[in-house]
Structure 1
């Protein structure tokens, strides 16, 4: 991928691209919008005619009236066309090993809309040909243009959507953003699509497949009667599966009486209590096969399992055990029914099933192992049809004049396909565009609607990991599908290890859409879901008391910081440390950071918290950017067995405050925190400055040894050195003879830990000359020679040398002083001593 930073250079070809982009005529973009609106009007006219003629012959199960749901979706202003899925399914019809497809996705990902679309297309009793001839499935199959041209149009639409989105921002950054984004679109996407599609066009097999698609489209449309079962309806009325199936069987008979009144099957001695027999008999008498569509296949299981969890097993143990047996029997009979209905039945040309829970971890271990199953963890084919893709959302933003794509992305994006493509929650995006309002639209109905319904806080490490996830971090874990077989094991009371329970919990949370899973890492997808997690933490009950106390303490810590109360901050940090760090835990910089994470957790509500962010001339431990741009900015630097004074000194030396954007107008709080391992005490210094970095307040905890004037003198000295360094014309970093440095270790640090920070090609060696042990030289003669190969940011090297230990005596370098060279602030490291001390910069 091309480095976007190169757009800032003086490359003449880039300049030409900039000039051409600056001449974009936005009138053309709005003409494009008019074209889209015209096509939508044409489709609406056809739909109106379709509804007025009303020549369809439908039932509740056979050629179901549920097709009307698809028609209502078509009429919506923010309709997204997913109809090309039909072409993909057509290729599977009558393919014995492929004709069973099960899609399991979270609620509100468009599963039912797809089911109703299939009813509208395949059903013999529904005259929808004119409608589908206006949709993508027809356009892409029968277009006279080459396939690569069709794909090109899609990318151009995406590009236009991005241009309009950028224009909406209407600020000084627009031209620059436009260049970068359009460059990215062209280089990354369009060229890739073009190359792939051109190769396809040259492939004879591909051409044959296209001809088959045309043949299948005409042959299968309106060819079959569809059988539609929505197992989320009315199941709660029945305790036993046989009673529920009896109800469905009656509805099926009603459809036959309405649509095929003269069939022999309706004779009393023919139509029996077994719906499976009746389906097979209907197929035989009609001499036709069916398309079977099952929606919400797992709903009966979920709702029955939730009935058990509502029982207090400690107070009503007998009732709990009895209900467990009943539910286990219900699930077993239900799976047995589905297996008999589907497996090996020649009366079905194709079977499509949707749900939330996968059938099993491994589908070949299930009695429903005929299905090819595609879930949130395992879907490399159909993911783009369930949920909105980035391109689709950008195009929707063209139609909406209020909502910005960036806001939609932040709130409703975050789900990832198998290859990392962005997937949006369809329901939330649609509601936000319809209401012109960004807020939480996650519906709170049904099983596992709330995070609290699903999290088991008793599993080791889960409490802390939930905090990490809320803070935006990713957790590495290898997951499998959480399936119905896991529920059955739970009902049988099978013992599981903590690791098994943890993996099942997170797999379940992925299945229900509370987490996303990509590259073997889980994370909270977006702000909408993050709100749900935070809501759980704010409850006060037995399971969440841990979080409640955390939040209350965290609020006090943030309040103490904002009030510059360093002594109160010290005491609160020591309280948090006592709760967070257990006996035997390793006390290192990483664990102290976790204490600070814990302590400042509530800051995430009003601050955008950044850790280890590049700022000024180094990497700061924390910067808190206020969501209210007038609020105070907080910069925190941590030390272990050092001093709070030294932490403040590092903030000034590395000028962590230099790169704060002008949009933030509030004062800046510099917070130095040190933990002393032997005494187990914290010490704190809080300095409040205005935006010109003039000190307005300096407060320290009682145990800080340095007095206020000493701290002020240190700051003044550092400022003086910084100002002096900016005027130097040259600077070399030299290792004097009085410091022992393991040069091989230094080479490793610079090469292995920081190689990506140097130059554009990212792969420079520390030196072009021989670097390492030289038998003819004494230890004191070692030098780091980098002048012929790379430029090094001095503050980065300072950070490395300050934190690492060198030499046999493990002496730690407490301070490294650098002068700056020129405007780019970069330093050379040389093995040669400069003749003039004025141009030297020594490690001291």
Structure 2
């Protein structure tokens, strides 16, 4: 048999990667070397999950170009990182490639108004048709797997399977166990079949949003080695852009690295540093502007639905996240789907996989990673679908901010009392840290117009909470000093004596100084506000 070329699913060639290289390309070909090491080993099956817009499709096109035996890709890779690794030429263009984007099959089924139950068989039929077109000498009447086996025998080349959005059908058919089972059985036939897998499959690379589903059907692909956004392992630098890569891009495009970091950084992994959203970074470079390039997704639309469910006080947790806190999360119970939620931990873990939260494995905590994602959570504050309790909190917070800027100390103290009495307050209200916790809740609406900084070094001390007005804002800066069982007058005096506003030099505007205290005996808050301190 001669090797045929340029199918849609079978041996698609290298044109996809050629197009990528026509634009600015950050070299991620080093990932190929990691996959090469798995060929011929028990770890030849890889499942790598990442959030949307983190370069999954770019990676699949790169792998197709490298492994596909129907084309010559030396000119695409000889000057790349992979060319300097062992095994580069050994595996270059040496395999048949089956490349599947599962979302394409789902979209086509929907376009034709066909049931999702047809998708697994459509996949088989599409690959089989191309296989028989490319190799017409294959005997008729045999199954796809039989013909794939025969193709390996005749050509002496095994197959590399590259599957993009592998979990799309699992997500789309949520609640329909029969469809999910049929799809997983297809994967089982390819990757967990002792009469087929060792003889036909050289390697498999599957990528998607979710890890393998944790239920009785997981055995369909239990032999896959998984690298998730929770634990990307040796693939961490290929999860997104590294900090050094972003610095080079900023230098090349004349962009302010610190601004880019504030907007797109936040996915941190111990020992490896920051990982950036590659899609958003490249958009910012091309547009010469940092802003949100986050695409609205069905998962984002469901965010408010999850919050309204209020699993174990989930609304409170989201409030704390928006106000800048890190929250402890148990990620072990998540069943890797969009439907099985038994606790707030499950919802928060899903948001990690979707890229809306970043996970700190060492501390077991999550936080909102950067300004771009924070903008998605801001939409919750401005949305109309929130339940009554949530909207009341936001309404109180907005009025509190207005009263603070207006210097209405009594109104501010009263508003803080009201928020202290809601479900959002800490259980144990017994120290200054608890007061800080309530204050951050109280001013949650400020994140629309301010950048919040806690314990900001300034003058001769550290200011408790400073709200810096965002660029081009006409609002004053806010310096908040907290006292427990001490007077609000003493808080204002400390702001002045320690010269906290010194850190705001250069902002050019006014400062509102708010001293907020709590008297544990009287069980009452007090607030003193002074304004019109000029800086610049």
Q: Please, what TM-score do these two structures have when normalized by structure 2?
A: 0.89
Partner of 1:259 in structure 2?
134
Partner of 2:435 in structure 1?
592
Moved more, 559-568 or 627-636: 627-636
Counterpart-to-counterpart distance in 2, 1:338 and 1:455? 35
Give the one of 113, 117, 120 matched to 2:58.
113
Counterpart-to-counterpart distance in 1, 2:130 and 2:461? 73
Give the secondary-structure state (helix, strand or coil) at the position aligned to 1:667. strand
Does the 8 Å CA contact 2:506/2:535 hold for their aligned counterparts? no
Does the 8 Å CA contact 1:580/1:595 hold for their aligned counterparts? no
- Structure 1 residues 382 and 449: CA distance shift in structure 2, 3 A: farther
- Structure 1 residues 366 and 480: CA distance shift in structure 2, 3 A: farther
Does the 8 Å CA contact 1:293/1:353 hold for their aligned counterparts? yes
The structure with more strand, counted as a fraction of residues: 2
- 2:307 is the counterpart of 1:436: no
- 2:142 is the counterpart of 1:289: no
Give the secondary-structure state (helix, strand or coil) at the position aligned to 2:421. helix
Counterpart-to-counterpart distance in 1, 2:495 and 2:504? 17
- 2:18 is the counterpart of 1:71: yes
- 2:212 is the counterpart of 1:395: no
Does the 8 Å CA contact 2:505/2:535 hold for their aligned counterparts? no
Tell me by how many angstroms 1:544 deviates. 4.0
- Structure 1 residues 480 and 75: CA distance shift in structure 2, 3 A: farther
- 2:147 is the counterpart of 1:303: no
Alignment of 1:497-576 (within 5 A): 501-518=343-360, 519=362, 520-541=364-385, 543-576=386-419
Tell me by how many angstroms 1:364 deviates. 12
Give the one of 170, 176, 188 matched to 1:339.
188
Count residues with an aligned counterpart: 523
Alignment of 1:16-95 (within 5 A): 57-64=5-12, 67-76=14-23, 78-95=24-41
Tell me by how many angstroms 1:571 deviates. 2.9
Give the one of 138, 142, 148 matched to 1:279.
148
Alignment of 1:801-820 (within 5 A): none
Counterpart-to-counterpart distance in 2, 1:229 and 1:455? 35
Counterpart-to-counterpart distance in 2, 1:447 and 1:686? 42
- Structure 1 residues 356 and 477: CA distance shift in structure 2, 3 A: same
Tell me by how many angstroms 1:510 deviates. 0.8
- Structure 1 residues 535 and 387: CA distance shift in structure 2, 3 A: same
Deviation by residue 1:429-482 (Cα, 9 ceiling, x = unmatched): 111112222211111245556643655642123222212222332223343484
Give the secondary-structure state (helix, strand or coil) at the position aligned to 1:623. strand
Moved more, 454-463 or 360-369: 360-369
Alignment of 1:331-410 (within 5 A): 331-343=180-192, 344=194, 345=197, 346-360=199-213, 366-401=219-254, 403-410=255-262
- Structure 1 residues 283 and 564: CA distance shift in structure 2, 3 A: same
Deviation by residue 1:17-49 (Cα, 9 ceiling, x = unmatched): xxxxxxxxxxxxxxxxxxxxxxxxxxxxxxxxx
Counterpart-to-counterpart distance in 1, 2:333 and 2:227? 10
Q: Please, what TM-score do these two structures have when normalized by structure 1?
A: 0.58
Tell me by how many angstroms 1:585 deviates. 4.7
Counterpart-to-counterpart distance in 1, 2:308 and 2:533? 46
Give the secondary-structure state (helix, strand or coil) at the position aligned to 2:325. coil
Partner of 1:643 in structure 2?
487
Partner of 1:203 in structure 2?
none
Counterpart-to-counterpart distance in 2, 1:356 and 1:453? 20
Alignment of 1:378-777 (within 5 A): 378-401=231-254, 403-445=255-297, 447-448=299-300, 451-452=303-304, 455=307, 457-480=309-332, 482-484=334-336, 490=340, 496=342, 501-518=343-360, 519=362, 520-541=364-385, 543-580=386-423, 585-628=428-471, 631-657=475-501, 659-691=502-534
Give the secondary-structure state (helix, strand or coil) at the position aligned to 2:462. strand
Counterpart-to-counterpart distance in 1, 2:146 and 2:37? 28
Gaps of 5+ in 1: 1-54, 142-212, 306-323, 694-844
Tell me by how many angstroms 1:288 deviates. 3.0
Counterpart-to-counterpart distance in 1, 2:308 and 2:531? 42
Counterpart-to-counterpart distance in 2, 1:651 and 1:433? 40
Tell me by how many angstroms 1:673 deviates. 2.2
Give the one of 113, 130, 137 matched to 2:82.
137
Give the secondary-structure state (helix, strand or coil) at the position aligned to 1:473. coil
Partner of 1:703 in structure 2?
none
- Structure 1 residues 690 and 74: CA distance shift in structure 2, 3 A: same
Tell me by how many angstroms 1:667 deviates. 2.7
Does the 8 Å CA contact 2:453/2:465 hold for their aligned counterparts? yes
Does the 8 Å CA contact 1:537/1:544 hold for their aligned counterparts? no
- Structure 1 residues 219 and 596: CA distance shift in structure 2, 3 A: closer
- Structure 1 residues 226 and 455: CA distance shift in structure 2, 3 A: farther
Counterpart-to-counterpart distance in 2, 1:612 and 1:564? 23
Deviation by residue 1:593-621 (Cα, 9 ceiling, x = unmatched): 22221221122222222223333333332
Tell me by how many angstroms 1:116 deviates. 1.2
Larger RCO (CA within 8 A; separation ≥ 6):
2
Give the secondary-structure state (helix, strand or coil) at the position aligned to 1:649. helix
